[in-house]
Structure formats: C-alpha cells, structure tokens
Amino acid sequence: MIGKLNHVAIATPDLEAASRQYRELLGAEVSTPVDMPEHGVTTVFVTLPNTSIELIAPLGEASPIARFLIKHPDGGIHHICYEVADIEAAKKALAAKGVRILGDGEVKTGAHGKPVLFLHPKDMGGALIEIEEV
Ligand code: CO
C-alpha cells in the first residue's frame, strides 16, 4: 500500500534557528517560512535528494503542535508521511483493520495541497503517521 517516504516533520519552538541549522550547518536547500493558518503551523520546507523535511512551528492559539511542544520543549520528530496512490482505498483498508483516523476521519488537504490523513499513534507503534495521495 505505502510508497515513498514523502517527508519527516520536525516540530520546533524556533523556526528561524532550525532553518539556519539546516541551511548553514547541514548545507541543505531551505525554503522561506510559509504560514498555513488552516493547519495552525508555519512551515519551512527542506529539500533533500530523496525526500523532504518539514520544520513546523505553531501558528495561532489553537495550533495542533502546541501541546507537542509543551511536552517536548526543544522540539522533536512530530510525524512521518508516506505516499499512497489512492487515499480513499488506503483509508478503507486501514479502518477495516481497526486503525483510527485522527480528526473527523475525513480526507483533508495537506501542506502540499494534496489529500492527506493522519493515523492514530496508538495504532501505529507510537508514531504519528500521515499518508498523502500523490
Ligand atoms: Co506532514
């Protein structure tokens, strides 16, 4: 079912410092910050040869990563995203095996403008998993 690793998302309390670290210390290609009010995050995209890293910082009061950063004040790996060819088929197959979908269970538009779902970490070995249709 799953294809390529699309991205790893790292939550950070300091987007500027994290961007600088990836650009200057690691020599990566780093985007300017993009506000995503509908997701409650500001995102910086780090482009690697085989995947990408998304540095995410809270945006607004009701940010979904605010609680994560309270638990992990230095930041940390927030989720990983796998590609699927057909997200509705993936959703049905996962739900049939008892995997819970976060939120209202419906497919949303993700940071790349593509359909996404988030799978409950308790059903996925403790990792928050995003699946994205590409
Ligand atoms: Co993501």
Q: What is the pLDDT of residues 106-134, one digit of tens each?
A: 999 988 899 999 999 999 999 999 999 99
pTM of the model: 0.94
The domain containing residue 24 runs over which residues? 2-133
Closest CA to 9 of 45, 37, 48: 45
Q: What is the average pLDDT score of the chain?
A: 96
**Per-residue DSSP letter, 118:** E
Closest CA to 54 of 6, 18, 9, 113: 9
Residue 130 annotated among the catalytic residues of the structure: yes
**Which residue did the predictor score with more confidence, 111 or 30?**
30
Per residue in 51-98, pLDDT (tens digit) is 999 999 999 888 989 999 999 999 999 999 999 999 999 999 999 999
Closest CA to 132 of 5, 36, 31, 45: 5
Residue type, 128: L
Burial 79-115 (b: 16+ CB within 10 A, else e): bbbbbbeebeebbeebeeeebebeeeeebeebbbebb
For ligand 1, the distance from its centroid to the CA atom of residue 98, given in whole angstroms, is: 22
Burial of 70 (0-12, 13-18, 19+ CB in 10 A): exposed
The predicted pLDDT at position 26 comes to: 98
Ion ligand 1, residue ranges at CB < 5 A: 9, 81, 130
The predicted pLDDT at position 38 comes to: 86
Total domains present in the chain:
1
For ligand 1, the distance from its centroid to the CA atom of residue 7, given in whole angstroms, is: 7
Which CATH number covers residue 120?
3.10.180.10
